[in-house]
Structure 1
């Protein structure tokens, strides 16, 4: 009798997902929830796959008890706080999640929250239940021909736009990483800046990840750009709106109402926002529907089966089977490509239209390992690393080696690979070229014989620097004293400089400075660098926060 793949479901998931697993004759499924750590340690070595939600902690200790048998960990949901992805990757274990399973649930909750805020339904309900028939206090706010501003036109933002069209609203969006053609296909007018969006619309709804760039993106200054009596909706992530300043805007009457599903600190039972009458709140229910729970269970079950049976899968956040098979020289180029991508991604603040990856040198003609199943869209693994690096500063939440190429394809970004046998100046090089509507940027990197990876060209500047973040990159007029001003500013801010390189443009006039630092340059320090006379542009590249 042919042996079956063994799957352990350690947390409660929808029976639909479990049924899908059990219907496959190659799968043997055990559902054992609420196990103690000791009980889990005792049995985990018997399984090829583990499916969890958020209750089971998949850390190094648990993985050490797998006896080398475990091949895949599937998370029925988005968050991976309970899974040590790096430890799993080092052991060749695929980690999956289901980031698209709750898209419609979050979309519908956004619309529900918006409507509830427009008509103050919870307050009206509690007033009537309390024995008071009060119609005058609940004058509604119609959506017909109102202007809706969507901040973040990704999967959920796009679905919100489609539904808002049904209310005959005028739809505007701000998303610097979405192509104008995609917005237009949705009937959405894409605006070039957040400020312009806020000055244009009556309602804003946020659909961005929580990143260093988006944290606190809506505060008093931004709220004051909205017209008096505007409405704010956040069913995305806590921290995007400065809660204290939202409280003030609601209390003062600047805002008519707000609807909030996510908070800085959760559970949010002591949050000051709960004191207000003109806010609708829910306890992070965006993904909490029966359909979405079925979706994530079925998705994770299907993807786990695909991994075990050697079939194609899209939900992985890592690509361990390729990484474990790469030789040391290829692995260094893989890591270099990701670092280079992150540098370019941090320097580009608009929608990308095309990304080209050029590999020069006979090194890349060698076989480096399997290409099927583990690498999405049949790309070279170095390309996957570069694309993740490019997208991570822009999205971060949900960006992985597997998802980055699909995110790019979804956004209409063209991806091209090219191999050139000869590399004139170096043994081998990787070049990444990114095109937007207004600019083309490029970066070239190589690895020297001592296994030291370096960036050797950035745009038109011949350079030589370590691509390991954190770092500050700036372009400046070639004048005396400017470099000293930058160094003094960093030093006064307590930022140590480990390496400083200045590279003049081949035609003179300008130079490119690269400063490797001991910590990421904050937005405030970056703004002060940009204000120095002669600085033409500055970018902070840092580790993910």
Structure 2
């Protein structure tokens, strides 16, 4: 039975989901960093929110045992060392949609509170003052809202702002013109957004590209009296620069739900006039917490039970339906990659994976990943679908994927071509009956073969007696042949044979085979 550690406070419904799927769930919140490291190896998965830090040390300890997946109940994964997880082959999942509405509503709430100075007016009124003239607000109707990041949350914020009769401009390199039209927003570059916006709201992850995106230089490009809202991630706004802009009046007000250092019990911004702060409440509604807890539990359970991958941040998604439909293709892709990898003995420079016919219309990203696993496994025992692409990148192995929907000799065809320091070699395969993997070509030589556990790959001169000598050598050694498949480029040229054996070929017999006069290459393969 798989085991999952719930390391942060999640809705009790998460435990119910795990148990219903036959997964044991231990709730152990508040673990200290060294305690989490010590516990990691005992679990197949770890579920967290934002409190627990899944560091490289936790992951390294985990993979010495059973750890295969880390699930984040929420969208941000900055408390998880994703590069380390990828290197170690651990899937990292988040729940990008679960907090979207709640976080968007919080951003809108902060915008309204900021525009009408509600927190300060509340404190003043409850202190027995009646300072109507002091709290002069601004209307949002007709104002321009600049949305930096128009993904799930940003799109909802834009929709709510349009409902308030605001104009919305958006900066997002991944936002297509058609999507912008559907949302009713105007897509602009960042400098244009800063120049035109009365209010700027941030809805992007914290990355090397977005860190400090609102700094002194950006604030100087804004209208005087702009208002800044951040419900996304601390670090997007340079807090020292924001304070200076608030003090100077360049920024009329700011509302922050996230901070560079959290928990933010002390901050240089605190006490600044026209500042509204909340303690990272964007996802803090009963509905959202229940939703993300159930969602992360379902996703983790799907992976542990059926291998389905949803909302992974470090590998292609693979739904349960995809896993079932792609199963035979994945077997074929791994076999082709393994075939090529076992025959590669010089420096690997690149790999090209081609899809033709029916397979070209499917989700091929998992197929590419599993083909890479097969290719690299003879060299790297620790490779899996999570880290295959990263391990290839680290070794300067160029990976190319090509789809051809053109007609081919088979209804579906996969071809793996490896480029080494010495040569280029391809191997291709198809599915017979839609489910049975078959090899159909090696080095552009037609050859039909089913791959079994113990195979012998031969290249030889196409001369009389070559096959007879090979058969005699195997027979004299007591090696039984299950299948024998032949192909050649042309008469008298290079020929290949792929032989399935009932048992592994002993090293001494292999040397005798290699010594035969017409044999150019003999390689034992296993699948």
TM-score range, shorter chain: 0.5 to 0.7
Aligned to 2:368: 380
Deviates more, 1:141-150 or 1:252-261: 252-261
Deviations 1:449-494 (A, max 9, x none): 499xxxxxxxxxxxxxxxxxxxxxxxxxxxxxxxxxxxxxxxxxxx
User: Is 1:159 the counterpart of 2:137 in the alignment?
Assistant: no
User: Is 1:204 the counterpart of 2:192 in the alignment?
Assistant: no
Structure 1 residue 182: deviation in Å?
A: 0.5
Q: Contact between 1:60 and 1:84, CA under 8 Å: does it hold in 2?
A: no
Aligned to 2:15: 18
Aligned to 1:52: 48
Structure 1 residue 31: deviation in Å?
A: 2.8
Q: 2:176 aligns with which of 165, 174, 179?
A: 179
CA distance in 2, matches of 1:319, 1:157: 24
Instruction: Determine which structure has more spread, i.e. the larger CA radius of gyration.
Output: 2
Aligned to 1:315: 311
CA distance in 1, matches of 2:34, 2:249: 55
1:250 aligned counterpart, secondary structure:
helix
CA distance in 1, matches of 2:32, 2:219: 48
User: Is 1:226 the counterpart of 2:232 in the alignment?
Assistant: no
Structure 1 residue 47: deviation in Å?
A: 4.3
CA distance in 1, matches of 2:366, 2:204: 29
Give the 3 Å change call, closer, same or farther, for CA 84–105 of structure 1 in structure 2: same
User: Is 1:111 the counterpart of 2:108 in the alignment?
Assistant: yes
Aligned to 1:417: 403
Aligned to 1:149: 146
CA distance in 2, matches of 1:246, 1:37: 33
CA distance in 2, matches of 1:144, 1:110: 16
Deviates more, 1:108-117 or 1:375-384: 375-384
Give the 3 Å change call, closer, same or farther, for CA 197–330 of structure 1 in structure 2: farther
Q: Contact between 1:12 and 1:33, CA under 8 Å: does it hold in 2?
A: yes
RMSD: 4.3
Alignment of 1:7-156 (within 5 A): 7-24=4-21, 26-34=22-30, 47-53=43-49, 54-55=51-52, 57=54, 59-60=56-57, 64=61, 68-80=65-77, 83-85=80-82, 88-89=85-86, 92-156=89-153
Alignment of 1:456-495 (within 5 A): none
User: Is 1:298 the counterpart of 2:268 in the alignment?
Assistant: no
Aligned to 2:245: 249
Aligned to 1:448: 421
CA distance in 2, matches of 1:319, 1:80: 14
Q: Contact between 1:85 and 1:318, CA under 8 Å: does it hold in 2?
A: yes
Structure 1 residue 12: deviation in Å?
A: 2.4
Give the 3 Å change call, closer, same or farther, for CA 324–9 of structure 1 in structure 2: farther
Q: Contact between 2:349 and 2:421, CA under 8 Å: does it hold in 1?
A: no
Give the 3 Å change call, closer, same or farther, for CA 132–253 of structure 1 in structure 2: same
CA distance in 1, matches of 2:2, 2:127: 58
CA distance in 2, matches of 1:39, 1:20: 26
Deviations 1:420-476 (A, max 9, x none): 99xxxxx9879xxxxxxxxxxxxxxx653499xxxxxxxxxxxxxxxxxxxxxxxxx
Q: Contact between 1:10 and 1:56, CA under 8 Å: does it hold in 2?
A: no
Q: Contact between 1:5 and 1:27, CA under 8 Å: does it hold in 2?
A: yes
2:135 aligned counterpart, secondary structure:
coil
CA distance in 2, matches of 1:65, 1:156: 33
Structure 1 residue 60: deviation in Å?
A: 4.7
Deviations 1:332-386 (A, max 9, x none): 9xx988xxxxxxxxxxxxxxxxxxxxx85xx7589xxx99x9x77655329999x
In the superposition, the TM-score normalised over structure 1's length comes to 0.57
Give the 3 Å change call, closer, same or farther, for CA 156–213 of structure 1 in structure 2: same
Q: Contact between 2:76 and 2:205, CA under 8 Å: does it hold in 1?
A: no
CA distance in 1, matches of 2:217, 2:37: 52
Aligned to 2:515: none
CA distance in 2, matches of 1:39, 1:283: 26
CA distance in 2, matches of 1:87, 1:151: 29
Deviations 1:177-216 (A, max 9, x none): 311110110111112x222222222211122223333333
Q: 1:189 aligns with which of 186, 191, 214?
A: 186
Deviations 1:126-156 (A, max 9, x none): 1112221111011121111211111221111
Aligned to 2:475: none
CA distance in 1, matches of 2:246, 2:36: 49
Alignment of 1:245-284 (within 5 A): 245-284=241-280
1:275 aligned counterpart, secondary structure:
coil
CA distance in 2, matches of 1:289, 1:384: 42
Structure 1 residue 113: deviation in Å?
A: 0.9
CA distance in 2, matches of 1:65, 1:174: 39
Structure 2 unaligned blocks of 5 or more: 319-329, 374-385, 389-400, 409-414, 425-527
Structure 1 residue 27: deviation in Å?
A: 2.9
Q: Contact between 2:41 and 2:61, CA under 8 Å: does it hold in 1?
A: no
